[in-house]
Structure 1
Amino acid sequence: MKFTLSWLKDHLDTDASVQEIADKLTSVGLEVEGVENPAEKLAPFVVAEVLSAERHPQADKLQVLQVDAGNGPLQVVCGAPNARAGMKGVFGPPGAYVPGSDFTLKVAAIRGVESNGMMCSERELELGQGHDGIIELPADAPVGQSFAAYAGLEDPVFDIAVTPNRPDCFGVRGIARDLAAAGLGTLRDWSVLPFEGKFANPVAIRVEEGSGCEAFAGRLIRGVRNGPSPEWLQRRLVAVGLRPISALVDITNFFSLAAARPLHVYDAAKLQGGITARRGRAGEQFLALNDKDYAVSAEDCVIADEGHVLGLGGVIGGDSTGVSEGTTDVLLECAWFDPVGIARTGQRHQVNTDARARFERGVDPETLLEMTDAATAMILKLCGGEASEVTLATTARWAEVVAPRAVPLRPERVASLAGLDLPASEQEAILTALGFEQADGGWRVPGWRPDIDGEADLVEEIARLAGLDRIPSTPLPRLPGVAKAIALPGQRLERRVRRAAAARGLHEAVTWSFISEADAAAFGGAPHRLANPISEDMKVMRGSLLPGLARAAGRNLARGATSVRLFELGRRYLQDGERPTLGIILAGEASGRDWQSGKARGFTPFDVKAAVVALLGEAGAPVSNLQLAAGAGESFHPGRSATLRLGKAELARFGELHPTLAKDYDLPVGTQVAELALDAIPAARDKGRARAAFTPPLLQPVTRDFAFLVPEGLAAGDLVRAVRGADKALISDVRLFDRYQPQEGELSLALEVTLQPTERTLTEADLNALSDKVVAAANKLGARLRA
C-alpha cells in the first residue's frame, strides 16, 4: 500500500517528521518497506526559459533552442513541436538522470549540432503520460529555480506492508486513524453529507440470493464530461504507481486508495436493460478491462445486464461497458461481496486486482451509501452532470452483515494475556480512538474491522497501540515436576558445527526450504512437491541446500561483494525423510595472493576440502579413517570434486561447482561448494562428562620425509592410509606436503611421517626398520621410493 505524505495529512493533522511517521507506523504493526521522495530524483531539473528557437539545419522536425537555465544561454536540440521562443519549461542539464527514459544526459552532437541537455516532457519526468510536447510552465515561473521546489513535488511516498487482517489499512483513512490513536496527531473530520437525487434511477438493479453479492447500490449520473482528471488527482495517483486514465476512472481509484472502498462505473448507454448480480452460467464469457477473455462458471459471482456478462463481481470489470471520452451517462456501482467468494474467484481465474485485494479481506459494509454519496459528489464536481436517487438491492443475508457486533472485554485480561498493566481508562481511550464504541456488555466493533472477533483481539489492539516495547520480558514459571530444558545430541552437534564454521570465516545464511522445480532438477531433484505453493519459485521441498546458497551468493556478488563465504545449517527433504545437513559455498576471491602472479587468487577445491575436513573433525568424525573417492555427482565438476566416506556411509561431498551451473546462477567459474550429512556422522561413545587428564608424551617426536613415485590413478589418501598403517604404535601422523609432476614423467608425492616414541628414544636401527616398513606398505599400492 502506497500513499503520499500530503494525502496522509488530508486525514491526519500532524507536525511529525517523515522519519517519526515511519517509525510509528512500524511500531503499530504497519511495517514500512520504504520511503521515497520524488523530489530527490528530480533535483537536477530546473525552470528554464527558451530565448530563441530556430530550425535545425539538418532535420526538419528538430529545432535548435537557446535556453537560459539561470547561468546564461545554452544550446539545446529539441524535437518538441510546442517549443518556441519566450516559453518556460523544465531543463535537464548534462549529467542528469531522466527517470522516465532511463538514461543520463550528456553533451552530444545531434545531426551535427551540439546539444547541452534537454527540455523535458511529463512522461520523461514520470509526472504523467504527456509526451507530445515539452512541459509548459506559467510565464511567472522563476528561471533557475529547482523545478521540484517550484511544482511542490516535495511529497514523500510511503510504502507499507499491510497484513491480511487489516483491510482498513488498504486505505489512507485507516492508516491515519491508527496513527492518531497512537498519539501522532489528530484524525481530521471526513463527514459526507447525504445526497438527494434529482430523479428516479431508470436502471433496474437486482441481486439474486446466493450470488455472493449481498448488496448493490447504484446511481445514474447523466450529462457528465469524462475528460482528463485534474492535475492534483493525476499527480496523486502517479505518485503511488497508478496510471491516470480518465476523470471517472480516476475517481474510483481515488476512493479505493483513500477509503479502501472499491467502486465501479459503467457507461449507461452501453447497458442492455437492468443489471443483475447473479451466478455465472455455462458458456458465458466476457472480455475484461485487461484485454483478456474469461469463461465464467456457476461458482463465480458475475454482474450482467439482460444481454451478456459485464464482469466478475468485485474482481474485474468488462470492456463492453467501460467508460470513455464519449461517455455522457454513467452508472456508479458501490457493492459488497462475500470475501471468501471473491478470493476463490480470483484464484480460479488468476486475476489480481486492487479491488479483489480489498474485497477478499473485507470492505466496510456500513459505509455503502455514504461512499456512494461521496463518490457522487466528486463526480459532479469534476465531471458535472445530474444524479439520480440511489437504488439499493440487497439479499436476506445483508441484515446479518450490517448487524452491530459487540465484543466483551475484561480490563484485567490485558495484563493476563499481553503482560501490560494498563488502567481501564487508558484501555478505553485506545479503543475509542480506534473507532470502537462502548455498548452493553462490551465494545461495538466498527464495520471497517472485520478481523475483530473476540476478547483477545481487543487485547491485541490495546497492546499494539500502547506499545509492544512496553511489554516486560518475563520468563514463564516452571511448574513442579517439569524437567529443565536440555539440548539433544543432534542439537549440540549443530551448535558445535555452527561455531566452527563461523570461526573459519564463513557467514551463516538462511534460505528458503521451498525452491523451484528448475533449481531442484539442477541439483539432483526433489521428491516432495507442494500441493498449494505460494509461488512458482517455491513448488518443491529442497533436496539440497546448494540451490539456495547459490542464489544467495549470486545476489551478493551482483551487489559488489568480491568474496562470498556462506554456510547454512538446515534440512534436506529426501524420500526417506528430513536429513540435517551443512551446506557451504565459496565464490569470488580467496584470501591471499597467487604465489606466481601476485594477483588475488580464486578458491580451489583444496580450500573447500580443508573446511569440510575441519568441520567433520569438529563434529566428531574419525577424519583419519575417511576414504576419499573421486567425483561427487552431476552438479559438480567431474574432475575437481570428491566424496568423503566412512565405510558405506557418505559423510560429505565437495568440490568445484559444474561450470554450466555456475553460469546459470551468475557465479564465477571456480565456485566451490560442499554438503555435509550430519546424520551420517557416527555418534561418539559416551565416556562420561569428565575429561581425561592431559598426559603429554615424555619423549621428543621424530619426523621423516618420504617421496614416492606413484602410478596414475592412485589417490593420495590411499597412500597416506597405507603408510599410517605401517606401524600404528609409532606412527602418530602422516601428512602430504608436496605434489610434483614434470610435463613428462611420473607423479611424485612427498609425505611427512611423524614418529612418537613412548618407551625409549629411537635408535638409528629403529628408524631404518621403520623406514623399511613404510616403503613396503607403499610398494603394495604400486608406489616406489623416489631416488
Structure 2
Amino acid sequence: MRAPLSWLREYVDLPAGETGRDVAAKLISAGLEVETVERLGADLTGPLVVGQVLAFEELTGFKKPIRYCQVDVGKANGTGEPQNIICGATNFLVGDKVVVVLPGAVLPGGFAISARKTYGHVSEGMICSARELGIGDDHDGILVLPPEHEVGTDAVELLELVDEVLDIAVTSDRGDCLSLRGIARETAIAYGLPLRDPALLDVPEPNGEGHPVRVDDPGCDRFTARTVRDVRPEAHSPIWLKRRLQKAGMRPISLAVDITNYVMLETGQPLHAYDRSRLSGPLGVRRARQGEELTTLDGVKRVLDAGDLVIIDGNGPVGLAGVMGGADTEIADAVEAPSPLGQAQGTTEIVLEAAHFDPVSIARTARRHKLSTEASRRFERGVDPQAAAAAAQRAVDLLVLLAGGTADPGVTQLGRDGGPRSITMKADHPDRVAGVAYGWETVVRRLREVGCTVTGTDVLTVTVPSWRQDLAEPNDLAEEVIRLEGYENLPSTLPRPSAGRGLTERQRLHRRVGRALAGAGYVEAPTYPFLGPAQLDALQVPGDDPRRRTVRLVNPISDEEPALRTTLLPGLLEALRRNVGRGGQDLALFETGLVFLPTGEEPSPVRLPVTGRPSPEELARLDAALPRQPRRVAVVMAGAREPSGWWGRGRPAGWADAVEAARTVAREAGVELTVEAGRYAPWHPGRCAALYAVVRGEKRPVGHAGELHPRVVKALGLPERTCAMEADLDLITEAGTGPVAAPQVSTFPVATQDVALLVDGQVPAADVAAALRSGAGELLESLRLFDVFTGEQVGAGRKSLAYTLRFRAQDRTLTSEEVTAAREAAVAAAAERTGATLRA
C-alpha cells in the first residue's frame, strides 16, 4: 500500500516539519512494515510553470514532426515575452495549456534545461510530457492541462510534484491498512493525535426508491446501491485526483472509475460503477452456474465455476463479485462526435455498488481465474462491513461535485448485521504475555485507541471495531497493547531452567561428536531429510534392502524426493558434488541427523480433535504410528586429506580416513570399535569396513566406512575414490559406558615393546589386536598396528602384523621381568586365539 504523505496529512495534523522517514519510523515502531519512503521531486528544481501555446510553425525536412512554438509563460521568464521552444510532439493545438520548464531548471533524473540551438532554432526551454515530469510513463505526447489554469502558475505545486510516499507491506491480517483511513488511524495513534475519519459521513437512510437489488447467497452479507443521474460524460478527472491515484500506484482511467478507485484507496471499501442504461432489470448476487460465461473488463471471456460469486442483472452475470466487473455494463466515455441532438454520447446515469463479500469465496475466485485485483486483495484480507454505505455516499458526492451529476434520492441497502463482536480478557493478560507490568489504565487506553469499547475492571469485556477483523481472541488484544507500547521497550530476559536440568548425556555426546569431527577437519553440512528412488538407485542399493522401505510424504516439496531419508549419504554426497562443481577440491563434510525407518507394521495415525487437548491415549496412538527415528552420523570426503607444501608431499583421502572418522566418533562415547572387512552398498566390496561395537554384551554392527563403488561415483558425478562413513550414533551411545573420564597421566616411565606376528592371510588384524590386548592385561596402556607385510619371506597365504605395545603402571616403575611377562602373555593369547607365531 502506497500512502502519499500529503494525502495522509488530510486526516492527521502532523507536525509541520515531520518528514516521511519520521512517520515511517513511528509506524515501524507500531508494528507496520514500511519498506521504502520514496521522495518524489527531490531532484526537481524550477522554474516549471503553466504556459499557453500562442502559435507554432511546422518544421520540415526532418525524420520526425518538429514544431517551433511560441508559448506564453506570463512573468515567469522575467520579461513577459513568449518563449520560443522546439517540441517534437503534435498532440496539442494553439490555445492549449501546457507545462513549460524554463532554462536553469532541473527535471527528475538530473536532466538540466538550458537554452540551446536545435533544428536550426534556439529552444528556450521545453514543453514537458508526463514521463519527463516523473508522473507517468506516457511519452507519446506532451501533457495538456485543463483550460482553467492560469498562465504562469507554478506547475510544481499544481501537479504536486514534490511529495513523499510511504510504501507499506501490509500483512494478510491487517486488511484495514490497505487504505489511507487505516494508515491514518495508525499514524494518529503513533503520534497521539486525533483522526479525521473519512468514513464519518452523513448517510441517508435506506428506502424503497433505489435501484432494486436481490441477494440470494450468504457470501454477500451487505449490499448498498446508489444512483447518480445527469452525469457529464465529457467530464475529466481533476489533476489532484489523478495525481493522488498515481502516487498510490494506480493509473487514471476515466472520471467515474477514478472516483471509485479513489474512494477505495481512501476508505478501503471497493466499489463498482455500472452504466445504468446497460443494466437489464434489478441487480442480484448468486453463485454462478457451471459453464456460464462472462467477459470481464480486461477483455477476457471467462468460463465461470459453480463456486464463483457473481453479480447479475436480468440477462445474467455482469461481474465477478469482489474481483472485477463485466465489460457489458462498463462506463462509456464521451465520444468525439456528438449525437444528433448536439449532446456528447456516453454514460449519463451511474449505479454504484458497495458490497461486502465473504473473504474465502473471493480469494478462491481470484485464484481460480488467476485474477488478483485491488478489490480482491482487500476483500481477501477483510473489509469493514460498516463502511459500505459511507463509501457509496463519498463516491456519490464526488460524482456530483466533479461530474455535475444529481444524486438520486433512492438508497438501496440490503444485508444482515451480525452485531459487534466482544472478547472477554483478564486485565493483566497483556502483562503476562509480555512479561511487563502495563497496568489497567494502559491496557484500556491502548485498546480504546484502536477503536475498541472496553468495560470492566479485573475482567475486561472488549467490543472490537468493525474494521479490525483480525481481533478474535485475548492474545490478539494483548498484541495490540504490546505493539503500541513498543516492541523495542520489551525487556530482554533469558529463560530460567529448573535446577538440575540441562543437556542430557545423549545431547552432550552429539555435541562432542560434532566438535571432534570439526577438530579433525570436517565441515558440518546439514542437508534436507528427503529422498527419492533415483538416489537409492545411484547408490546401488539392492531392491530388497531395508533402506528401500521409506515413509512417503503426503505433500512433498519435490516430486523427485517424495520420501523421508533412510540414510544420510544421499544428501551429503549431493552437497559434496555441488561444492566440487563450484571449484572445491579438498573436501571433508559431516552431518548428524535423524533417519526414518518404518517397519510397515505401524498403525494408521489417529486424527486429533481441534476442539480440545488430545487425551493421553490419542497421543500414545499418534506416537505409535511414527516410524523409528535413530540418529546417524556420516562423513564424506574427496581430494587431499593432507595437502602438499614446503613440508613435503600430501596424501589423498582414503578408506582408512573414513574408518578413522568412525573411531573419532566412537572415542567420544568411550567405545572401542571392531573393524572387519564387509560388503555393503554403496561401498567398494574390497574397500569396505564393517564397524562393530559391544552393545549390552552383544557384538552388533553399528555402521560402515570405506571407499565408494566406482559405479556409484560415476552415477553421482563425484571425484574418483570418494570415501564415506555412516554409523548409528544411538547404538554407539548405547554401547558407551556413560561420561568419558579424563585420562590419568602417570608420572612413571613407559616401557615399549614391538612384536611381529605371522598369521593366516584371512585372519583380521582386529582379532589379533584383541587377543594381544586381552593377554597383556592391565599393564597395557596402548596398542598400535604399525606394519602389515606380505611376500615370499613370510610364505604364500600368510601375512606379518607388527604391533607396538606400550606398558605402564600408575603406581611404580615396571621392571623388565614384568614387561617381558606381559609381552609373552600377549603373544601367547594371540597364538591360542588366532594361530599367530612370532616372526623371526
Q: TM-score under structure 1 normalisation?
A: 0.63
Residue matched to 2:168: 159
Residue matched to 2:219: 212
Count matched residues: 680
- C-alpha displacement of 1:135: 8.0
After superposition, the Cα gap between the structure-2 partners of 1:696 and 1:463, relative to the gap in structure 1 and judged at 3 Å, is: same
Residue matched to 1:756: 806
Residue matched to 1:132: 140
Contact residue 192 and residue 373 of structure 1 kept, 8 A: no
Residue matched to 2:734: 683
Q: 2:461 aligns with which of 438, 442, 447?
A: 442
- C-alpha displacement of 1:191: 5.5
Contact residue 45 and residue 90 of structure 1 kept, 8 A: yes
After superposition, the Cα gap between the structure-2 partners of 1:288 and 1:515, relative to the gap in structure 1 and judged at 3 Å, is: farther
Contact residue 16 and residue 184 of structure 1 kept, 8 A: no
Q: 1:365 aligns with which of 375, 385, 404?
A: 385
Residue matched to 2:177: 169
Residue matched to 1:463: 482
In 2, Cα distance between the equivalents of 1:527 and 1:348?
35
Query: 2:461 is matched by which residue type in structure 1?
Result: G
In 2, Cα distance between the equivalents of 1:587 and 1:134?
67
Gaps of 5+ in 2: 50-56, 69-85, 93-99, 113-125, 335-345, 540-546, 600-626, 693-699, 757-761, 789-800, 809-813
Contact residue 314 and residue 355 of structure 1 kept, 8 A: yes
Superposed counterparts of 1:314-353, under 5 Å: 314-323=322-331, 325=333, 328=347, 329-346=349-366, 351-353=371-373
- 1:452 has 2:471 as partner: yes
Contact residue 205 and residue 276 of structure 1 kept, 8 A: yes
Is the partner of 1:355 in helix, strand or coil?
helix
After superposition, the Cα gap between the structure-2 partners of 1:275 and 1:189, relative to the gap in structure 1 and judged at 3 Å, is: closer
In 2, Cα distance between the equivalents of 1:194 and 1:295?
41
Give the RMSD, CA atoms, in angstroms: 6.7
Name the stretch that deviates more: 409-418 or 267-276: 409-418
Residue matched to 1:491: 507
- C-alpha displacement of 1:8: 4.2
In 2, Cα distance between the equivalents of 1:214 and 1:583?
59
Contact residue 203 and residue 389 of structure 2 kept, 8 A: no
After superposition, the Cα gap between the structure-2 partners of 1:136 and 1:443, relative to the gap in structure 1 and judged at 3 Å, is: same
- C-alpha displacement of 1:386: 3.5
Query: 1:445 is matched by which residue type in structure 2?
Result: V
Contact residue 720 and residue 735 of structure 1 kept, 8 A: no
In 1, Cα distance between the equivalents of 2:583 and 2:7?
37
Residues 185-233 of structure 1, C-alpha deviation per residue, up to 9 Å, x if partnerless? 5534536543679x9977422112x441111112233425488755655
After superposition, the Cα gap between the structure-2 partners of 1:609 and 1:5, relative to the gap in structure 1 and judged at 3 Å, is: farther
Is the partner of 2:484 in helix, strand or coil?
helix
- C-alpha displacement of 1:171: 2.7
Query: 1:214 is matched by which residue type in structure 2?
Result: D
Residue matched to 2:794: none
Is the partner of 1:458 in helix, strand or coil?
helix
Is the partner of 1:374 in helix, strand or coil?
helix
Residue matched to 1:388: 408
Contact residue 91 and residue 119 of structure 1 kept, 8 A: no
Query: 2:225 is matched by which residue type in structure 1?
Result: G
- 1:693 has 2:700 as partner: no
Q: 1:221 aligns with which of 224, 228, 234?
A: 228
Residues 509-564 of structure 1, C-alpha deviation per residue, up to 9 Å, x if partnerless? 8888799999999999996666578x889996754889999999999999999999
Superposed counterparts of 1:218-617, under 5 Å: 218-222=225-229, 223-225=231-233, 237=245, 242-289=250-297, 293-323=301-331, 325=333, 328=347, 329-346=349-366, 351-389=371-409, 391-395=411-415, 398-400=416-418, 403-408=419-424, 410-416=426-432, 418-438=434-454, 442-471=461-490, 485-499=501-515, 543=565, 571=594, 575=598, 577=627, 579=629, 616=665
Contact residue 522 and residue 661 of structure 1 kept, 8 A: yes
In 2, Cα distance between the equivalents of 1:62 and 1:693?
98
Contact residue 279 and residue 299 of structure 1 kept, 8 A: yes
After superposition, the Cα gap between the structure-2 partners of 1:627 and 1:382, relative to the gap in structure 1 and judged at 3 Å, is: farther
Q: How many percent of aligned residue pairs carry the same amino acid?
A: 30
Contact residue 181 and residue 197 of structure 2 kept, 8 A: no
- C-alpha displacement of 1:347: 5.5
Name the stretch that deviates more: 218-227 or 310-319: 218-227
Contact residue 505 and residue 739 of structure 2 kept, 8 A: no
Is the partner of 1:388 in helix, strand or coil?
strand
Contact residue 210 and residue 411 of structure 2 kept, 8 A: no
In 1, Cα distance between the equivalents of 2:210 and 2:366?
32
Q: 2:198 aligns with which of 167, 190, 201?
A: 190
Query: 1:128 is matched by which residue type in structure 2?
Result: G
In 2, Cα distance between the equivalents of 1:410 and 1:81?
69
Contact residue 567 and residue 584 of structure 1 kept, 8 A: yes
- C-alpha displacement of 1:307: 1.3
- C-alpha displacement of 1:90: 4.6
Query: 1:187 is matched by which residue type in structure 2?
Result: L
Is the partner of 2:198 in helix, strand or coil?
coil
Name the stretch that deviates more: 511-520 or 355-364: 511-520
Query: 1:358 is matched by which residue type in structure 2?
Result: R
After superposition, the Cα gap between the structure-2 partners of 1:438 and 1:184, relative to the gap in structure 1 and judged at 3 Å, is: closer
Residue matched to 1:73: none
Name the stretch that deviates more: 234-243 or 450-459: 234-243
After superposition, the Cα gap between the structure-2 partners of 1:470 and 1:48, relative to the gap in structure 1 and judged at 3 Å, is: closer
After superposition, the Cα gap between the structure-2 partners of 1:689 and 1:172, relative to the gap in structure 1 and judged at 3 Å, is: farther
Query: 1:337 is matched by which residue type in structure 2?
Result: F
- C-alpha displacement of 1:436: 1.9
Is the partner of 1:216 in helix, strand or coil?
strand
In 2, Cα distance between the equivalents of 1:727 and 1:421?
71
In 1, Cα distance between the equivalents of 2:716 and 2:742?
47
Is the partner of 1:399 in helix, strand or coil?
coil
Contact residue 587 and residue 671 of structure 1 kept, 8 A: yes
Query: 1:37 is matched by which residue type in structure 2?
Result: E
Gaps of 5+ in 1: 66-77, 97-117, 706-713, 738-750, 780-787
Q: TM-score under structure 2 normalisation?
A: 0.60
